Amino acid sequence: MGVMIRALALMAGLSLAALAGAAWADDPATPAADASQAPQLRSLCTDRPTKSTSPCTVDPGHFQLESDIFNVTIDHSGGADTTTALYTNPTLKYGVTDTVDVELNIAPYETITSRDRTTDITTRNEGVGDLYARVKWALIGAAGGDFGLAFVPYLKAPTASGGVGNGAWEGGLIIPVAFNLPAGWSGVIDPEIDILKDPADDNKHVGFAGLISLSHPITKTITGSVEIWGDENYQPGHAIKQASADVGAAWIPASDQNLQFDGGVNLGLNSQTPAAQLYVGVSRRF
C-alpha cells in the first residue's frame, strides 16, 4: 500500500506541475474579467453546499473562492462527545483550461473539543488543518449541460497541528457524474476511493465513499439540495461505516451572478456517523 500512496503522490505532483506550466505559458493578453464580460462567463457552479463534487470547472483564467464561514460537527461516537468547529474553510480554485482547474483547500483554524463520557475528562486540540490539493479534469460537461463526467484526484499534505490531523500523506480519486432529470431536477453521483493511514502505524488501507444528490430550484435565485452519503473505511480489524442524510440550499443574488451564499445540515444515520453537521458558506468568482 506504501507503493500506492507514493504513486498517487507522484501522479498528483506531476499533474499540478504540468498544469501550472500550462497556466504560466497561457496567453498573457487574456483580458481580466469585468462587468461587461460577466454575461459571457458560464453559470456559477460550485462544489457546495452538501458533500457533492460537481464535474463543472472554473472558467479559464478566473479564480473562484468557496468557503465555509462557520462549520460545526457534533459527534457522540466512540464513548465521547466531540465537537469540531471550523472557522472558515477556504478552497481556492483556478481555471487552467476550458476543462481543467486546480484547487487548494485548508482550514486556517479549527478546534476539536472532546469529553470522555466514562471519565468526564475533556480534551481540546486546536490549530491549522491539513492542506488538500485537487485537480479537476472534466471529460464532459465542464460548462454544465445535460450530462457531466470528471476525474478529480486529490492529495492531502499533513499540515495540521498535533491532535487536529493524523500526520500522514493521504489521497484518492473522485469521479463525479452529473445529469439532468425531468421536471427541473438535477442529480450528482460521486463514487470515491481513498488511500488512508492505519490508526496504529504508518501502513495504508483503502476506503470507499459515495453519494447521490438531487437538486431543484426553489425560486429563481435559490436552489435546494438533498442527498444520501455513505463511507466505508476498511482500517485493519475494524471497518467504520458511516452514512448521512444531507440538506442544503444556495442563493445566487440576481444582482451578482458571481456570488453565492449557502447553508445546510448533515444528519448521521448510524452510530458511527457524527450526529449532526451544520454550516453556512459563501462562494465568489473573480
Q: Does residue 242 lie in a domain region?
A: yes
- State the pairing for strand pair 63-75/276-285: antiparallel
Q: Does residue 80 lie in a domain region?
A: yes
Position 108 scores a pLDDT of: 97
Q: Does residue 35 lie in a domain region?
A: no
Tally of structural domains, the chain:
1
Q: Does residue 190 lie in a domain region?
A: yes
Position 86 scores a pLDDT of: 98
Which phi and psi angles does 183 have, rounded to 5°?
60, 30
Position 24 scores a pLDDT of: 37
Residue the block writes with cell 448510524: 270
Q: Does residue 38 lie in a domain region?
A: no
The residues, any chain, with a CB within 8 Å of residue 277's CB and separated by 6 or more, are 71, 72, 73, 74, 244, 265, 266
pLDDT in tens, 77-108: 889 999 999 999 999 999 999 999 999 999 99
Q: Does residue 164 lie in a domain region?
A: yes
Residue the block writes with cell 506531476: 14
Q: Does residue 67 lie in a domain region?
A: yes
- What are the helix and strand counts (H, E) for the chain? 1, 17
d(CA 89, CA 105): 7
Position 176 scores a pLDDT of: 98
Quick check: 197 pLDDT over 90? yes
pLDDT in tens, 9-18: 433 443 333 3
**Domain boundaries, position 165:** 2-26+44-285
Query: Residue 243's domain is classified under what CATH number?
Result: 2.40.160.40
Which phi and psi angles does 15 have, rounded to 5°?
-65, -45
Position 29 scores a pLDDT of: 42
- Collapse the DSSP code of 56 into the 3-class scheme (helix H, G, I; strand E, B; otherwise coil) and give the result: coil
Q: Does residue 32 lie in a domain region?
A: no
